[in-house]
Structure 1
Amino acid sequence: MSSHRTVLVRTALATAASAVALLAVAPSASSAPPSDSRGYIDSTARCAAPATAVVFGSTAGSRVAICKLADGDLEYRGVRVRDGAKLIAAASQSADGAFTASRDGIEYMVTADALVISAAEKVIRDEPMLDFHRPGSTSSPGAGPTTSATPTPTTPLPPPLPAEVGGGDGS
């Protein structure tokens, strides 16, 4: 093999190896978690009947649902994806349409644009919504990238994600 051809082959192999390494560490662009009109399937961020979903959404690190209970009260149901930590707490809606829940001095605010987690007015995390739904609504002014509910899948679902299984209550 000529030295020029050897250099070209080595360069091509190095480029291919670099591309494979990048694919192994690059975050995958995934679609929204499976959902229906009650929230995310096999997730804490889902409203159990007779409760109904008012809104639900997901960020890169969280899934949340705001449920209207049979007595008319609102409930925040959230899960942190990385470790499955769950939070279920009473919620309220402000005049501007934001939903808020509090636990142990931490406030969780859900809007069509973001999940904002704060303590004593200091923002801990501001997670942009990647998927947002208002079940029963045909349009969602100011909603994030996805505004309509995904139909219930007809194919069997895979097992729940590890982050959705286990975990304890908490933030």
Structure 2
Amino acid sequence: MSSHRAVLARTALAAAVPAVALLAVAPSRRRAASDSRGYIDSTARCAAPATAVVFGSTDGSRVAICRLADGDLEYRGVRVRDGARLITEASQSADGAFTAARDGIEYMVTSDALVISAGEKVIRDEPMLDFHRPGSTSAPSAVTSPGAGPTSSATPTTPLPPPLPAEKGAAGSS
């Protein structure tokens, strides 16, 4: 009987070790190095004299909203998968959301999500996993929703628009 228990214990341990290792590795993938200007070595970073208003990341993207020296806002986003980037002017709505548009595609950034849409049709709704508001008194947070299930962003039904020129160093920097 004791040898049976030993076999069960070894089997349980063998199954548990990979799961623990996965948990230890997964968070590092989500948390890219950052400072008060955005993500280091990324398009989602505000170059001086611009300052970061907000920046965040989803499973598939990193974004930063920068305040330029003239007071205008700039959207700086990069798709992690292939390094496709977008840098364009941005605006802030009364409810605090930031929006940018290029070629009929709108990018909306909130502390909860990056929503990419074409007109009224949502192409992707990517939940924020890491969101920062430099200069705020609250600590950076990873946003989670209790009981949230899979989202449509995992397998989009509408193809994404063609990628923009790839960000230098994107390969292996995700």
Local SS of the residue matching 1:28 = helix
Query: CA 1:17 to 1:83, structure 2 compared with 1: closer, same or farther past 3 Å?
Result: farther
Q: Which stretches in structure 1 are left out of the alignment for 5+ residues?
A: 147-162
User: 1:96 is matched with which residue?
Assistant: 95
Q: 2:2 aligns with which of 1, 5, 9?
A: 5
User: 2:170 is matched with which residue?
Assistant: 166
User: 1:159 is matched with which residue?
Assistant: none
User: 2:17 is matched with which residue?
Assistant: 20
Q: Distance in 1 between matches of 2:8 and 2:105?
A: 53
Query: CA 1:107 to 1:70, structure 2 compared with 1: closer, same or farther past 3 Å?
Result: same
Q: Tell me how far 1:24 sits from its aligned partner.
A: 5.7
Q: Which runs of 4+ in 1 moved over 4 A?
A: 23-27
Q: Distance in 2 between matches of 1:25 and 1:33?
A: 18
Q: Distance in 2 between matches of 1:62 and 1:79?
A: 6
User: 2:160 is matched with which residue?
Assistant: none
Q: So what's the TM-score if we normalise by structure 1?
A: 0.70
Q: Distance in 1 between matches of 2:78 and 2:43?
A: 6
Q: What is the percentage of aligned positions where both structures have the same residue?
A: 71
User: 1:145 is matched with which residue?
Assistant: 141
Q: Tell me how far 1:64 sits from its aligned partner.
A: 0.7
| Equivalence map 1:1-171=2 (5 Å) | 4-23=1-20, 28-30=26-28, 32-138=31-137, 145=141, 165-166=169-170
Q: So what's the TM-score if we normalise by structure 2?
A: 0.69
The one of the two structures with greater contact order (alpha-carbon pairs below 8 A, sep at least 6) is 1
Local SS of the residue matching 1:56 = strand
